[in-house]
Amino acid sequence: MSFLGLSSNKAKAPKKSSHGSSLQKQYLQKEYAEQTLGSGNLRLAVHLPEGEDLNEWLAVNTVDFFNQINMLYGTITEFCTPQDCPVMSAGPKYEYHWKDDFQFKKPARVSAPVYVDHLMSWVQAQLDNEAIFPSKIGVEFPANFKTLVTDIFRRLFRVYAHIYATHFSVIVSLGEEAHLNTSFKHFILFVKEFDLIDPKELAPLSDLIESLISQTKN
């Protein structure tokens, strides 16, 4: 029962949001999200703000969730080692193998720390790719942008799944459970709002998701 881990045992440096529109626009989007999060209305926080571009909203939130998950994982890296987490999993029924288009062209069974290290580096490379996440005003997002974002969110979910399945007792001991639950609830509401993850992929945490969603304000 394992699945998280950075080979360096350090979280990646947070990625800054800077896509396609002005900094002022990005600030307003983030301010909107923070205001709605602060009100406790997570359902409202995930809605596309009136007049905003969908791809821009997806991009800004992709960066923010990447940073959130990265920091949450960073709190438990010393407990997620190749010895404690020899495979990437989310409980006994769910094991994840790493695959990319470069070093691992076929799915490979690796330890959780190695898996997460590859995952975070893979996401960071996409966020830094101007052809996918343009930072210049007026540059269009690629036509398949939502598909690319879907793949990112699908894999980021696995980090949450591993934390809950394997390291939740550590999270509780650190007093981080409220932060984790709020972040995960926000994440799930967002992916459901924009249909970013196949429900089958969410199966490892289906009971938790149902419980969190039922507690969320309409």
Question: In the prediction, which pLDDT does 9 show?
Answer: 34
**Interior/surface letters 16-36, b for 16+ CB within 10 angstroms, e for the rest:** ebbbbbeeebbeebeebbeeb
Q: What is the pTM of this model?
A: 0.81
DSSP-assigned states of every residue in 83-126 = TT--SEESSTT-EE-B--SSS-SS-B---HHHHHHHHHHHHHHH
Contact 157, 187 (CB under 8 A): yes
Q: Which residues participate in the annotated binding site?
A: 80, 85, 162, 167
Structural domains in the chain plus CATH codes: 23-214 (1.20.140.30)
Burial class (CB in 10 A: 0-12, 13-18, 19+), 48: middle
Across 19-28, 47-56, 132-141, least confident range = 19-28
Residue 142, pLDDT above cutoff 80:
yes
pLDDT tens-place string over residues 145-197: 999 999 999 999 999 999 999 999 999 999 999 999 999 999 999 999 999 99
Amino acid, single-letter form, for residue 10: K
**Mean pLDDT (whole number) for 11-23:** 42
Dist CA 138 CA 54 (whole Å) = 15
Q: Which residues participate in the annotated binding site for Zn(2+)?
A: 80, 85, 162, 167
Across 18-22, 54-58, 91-95, 181-185, least confident range = 18-22
Residue 21, pLDDT above cutoff 90:
no
